[in-house]
C-alpha cells in the first residue's frame, strides 16, 4: 500500500489519478492535477516548477489548493477571458446583419455595430461593444459598411441610361452651369 500523502485524502488522490488518465483532458488541467499530486508527495514549488516546466506561481497556487483540501477545484478556474458569445448569439448576429434594420422596425437603412449591439442586448441580454460586434462580423465575412464602388463600375453606370444620375468632374462644368437645375431620378 502507498504511503499516506501529505495533504490529500486517499479518496482525493485516487480521484485525481483517475482524472489524470482521461484521454481528452486539457493540458492545463493535467498540469494542475500533476502539481497537486507532486505537492502531496512533498515536493516544493521550485521542484514542481522545474519538473513540470511551469511557473513557480502556478505551482504555489495549485499546491495551496491541495493543502487547503480543495483538490476537487482543479477544473474550476478556466484560463483566459470568459466567452460571452454563444452559437445562438453569433447566429442571430449573422441573421440581423444579413437583413435590413427596417425589417425589425428601425427607420434607418444600414446597421451599425452600435445598433446591432443594442438590439442583441435587448433580445439576448448579452452586451458587447460595437467594436467587438464589428470584429465578429469581420470574422464571419460580413460588414455594416456599404460596399465600395470602384471607379470603373461607376464610369459604366454613368454611361447607362437607367441610373438617372449624371456624375461629372466639377472642372468640366462651367461656372454658369452651376445656376442650372439638376434633375435626379432615384430608382427604388
Could you read off the pLDDT of 141-152 as tens digits, one per residue? Answer: 988 887 766 655
C-alpha span between 128 and 134 (Å, rounded): 10
Q: What mean pLDDT do residues 173-178 have?
A: 50
Whole-number Cα distances in Å, 94 to 31, 103, 125? 38, 14, 17
CA distances from 30 to 12, 18, 65, 70, 79 (A): 15, 11, 15, 16, 13
Report the pLDDT averaged over residues 36-65: 93
* 85 pLDDT more than 50: yes
- 103: cell is 425589417
Q: Which one, of 73, 83, 50, lies nearest residue 61 by Cα?
A: 73
Cα–Cα distance between 126 and 65 in angstroms, integer? 33
Instruction: Give me the pLDDT at residue 63, please.
Output: 93
Residue 51 pLDDT greater than 90, yes or no: yes
Amino acid at each position: 500500500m502507498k504511503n499516506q500523502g501529505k495533504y490529500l485524502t486517499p479518496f482525493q488522490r485516487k480521484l485525481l489519478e483517475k482524472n489524470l488518465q482521461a484521454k481528452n483532458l486539457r493540458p492545463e488541467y493535467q498540469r494542475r492535477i500533476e502539481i497537486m499530486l507532486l505537492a502531496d508527495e512533498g515536493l516544493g514549488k521550485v521542484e514542481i516548477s522545474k519538473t513540470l516546466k511551469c511557473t513557480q506561481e502556478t505551482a504555489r497556487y495549485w499546491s495551496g489548493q491541495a493543502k487547503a483540501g480543495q483538490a476537487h477545484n482543479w477544473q474550476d478556474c478556466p484560463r483566459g477571458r470568459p466567452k460571452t458569445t454563444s452559437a445562438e448569439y453569433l447566429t442571430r448576429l449573422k441573421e440581423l446583419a444579413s437583413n435590413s434594420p427596417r425589417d425589425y422596425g428601425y427607420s434607418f437603412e444600414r446597421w451599425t455595430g452600435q445598433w446591432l449591439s443594442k438590439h442583441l442586448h435587448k433580445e439576448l441580454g448579452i452586451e458587447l461593444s460595437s467594436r467587438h460586434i464589428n470584429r465578429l462580423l469581420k470574422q464571419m465575412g460580413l460588414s455594416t459598411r456599404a460596399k465600395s464602388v470602384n471607379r470603373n463600375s461607376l464610369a459604366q453606370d454613368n454611361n447607362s441610361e437607367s441610373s438617372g444620375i449624371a456624375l461629372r468632374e466639377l472642372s468640366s462644368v462651367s461656372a454658369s452651369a452651376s445656376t442650372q437645375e439638376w434633375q435626379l431620378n432615384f430608382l427604388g
